């Protein structure tokens, strides 16, 4: 089934809110999509009529099986294009979101299948987020945060969940990106902050920041 650009944006927005908070609501979705609550309600009715949403006025809504599948396909398109923009065109990984947001609505299945093959069907995008396969299945990737791991082992950053401008600015300042090599030198039990080594430089990051930095063993 083929959806409008607007419908796809709502489907994806609902999906992300459900992932983040367990559920979505009208106001949060309006905030996420930079639109107004009334517009959201209109679209909820449309998506509900297309069986993409379970929706009961005033009570709430959630993606149906069909809606979830549709969302995963859109997420796949978005992340493959992000991969392309970074790996092939050389964009910085923190500047590709807006462009991928447009590219994700273009063309049909054949384009995305060919793009996936061309890129080697990567499992994660440049932010470290997993890329669903053509059936909408998410690859299972062990996600462990910096906090959870033993000291002095060589780790590589695989994902950053909080992608607020503030967070990205901080990461940029310390030179932390996907693939960066990190060693945890010390763990302060008092506030959860960590002393780490990145790019051969020692620095301290808060427990709050560390919770959003996912890593895997490197080398």
Partner DNA sequence: AATTATTTTTAGATTTGTCTAAATTTTATT
Partner DNA sequence: AATAAAATTTAGACAAATCTAAAAATAATT
Q: Per rule CB under 8 A, is residue 107 in the interface with a second copy? A: yes
Instruction: Tell me which of 16, 18, 26, 124 binds DNA, using CB under 7 A.
Output: 26
d(CA 118, CA 43): 35
Residue 106 is a binding residue for a second copy (CB under 8 A): yes
Q: How far is the CB of 4 from DNA (least distance, A)?
A: 3
Residue 102 engages a second copy in binding (rule: CB under 8 A)? yes
> With CB cut-offs between 5 and 8 Å by kind, which of a second copy, DNA, none does residue 90 bind?
a second copy
Give the DSSP per-residue string, 176-193: --TT-EEEEEEE-TTT--
Strand partners, 186: 195
Q: Which of 36, 66, 137, 186 binds DNA (CB under 7 A)?
A: 36
Answer yes or no: are the C-beta atoms of 109 and 59 closer than 8 Å: no
Q: How far does CA 2 lie from the centroid of its chain? A: 23
Helix and strand numbers, DSSP H then E, in the chain = 8, 8
Q: Looking at 56-64, 100-108, 143-151, 211-219, which segment touches DNA (CB under 7 A)? A: 56-64
Q: Which tokens belong to 118?
A: 């061309």
Residues found near a second copy in the complex (CB under 8 A): 85, 88-91, 99, 102-103, 106-107, 111, 114-115, 118
């Amino acid at each position: 089934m083929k959806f409008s650009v607007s419908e796809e944006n709502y489907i994806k927005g609902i999906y992300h809110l459900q992932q983040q908070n367990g559920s979505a609501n009208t106001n949060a979705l309006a905030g996420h999509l930079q639109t107004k609550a009334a517009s959201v309600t209109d679209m909820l009715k449309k998506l509900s009529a297309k069986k993409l949403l379970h929706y009961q006025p005033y009570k709430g809504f959630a993606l149906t099986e069909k809606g979830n599948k549709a969302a995963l396909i859109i997420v796949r398109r978005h992340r493959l294009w992000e991969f392309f923009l970074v790996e092939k065109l050389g964009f910085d990984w923190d500047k590709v979101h807006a462009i991928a947001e447009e590219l994700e609505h273009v063309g049909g299945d054949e384009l995305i299948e060919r793009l996936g093959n061309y890129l080697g069907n990567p499992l994660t995008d440049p932010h470290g987020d997993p890329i669903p396969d053509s059936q909408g299945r998410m690859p299972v990737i062990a996600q462990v945060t910096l906090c959870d791991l033993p000291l002095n082992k060589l780790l590589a950053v695989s994902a950053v969940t909080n992608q607020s401008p503030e967070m990205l600015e901080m990461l940029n300042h310390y030179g932390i990106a996907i693939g960066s090599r990190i060693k945890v030198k010390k763990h302060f039990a008092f506030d959860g902050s960590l002393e780490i080594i990145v790019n051969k430089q020692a620095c301290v990051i808060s427990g709050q920041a560390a919770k959003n930095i996912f890593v895997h063993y490197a080398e």
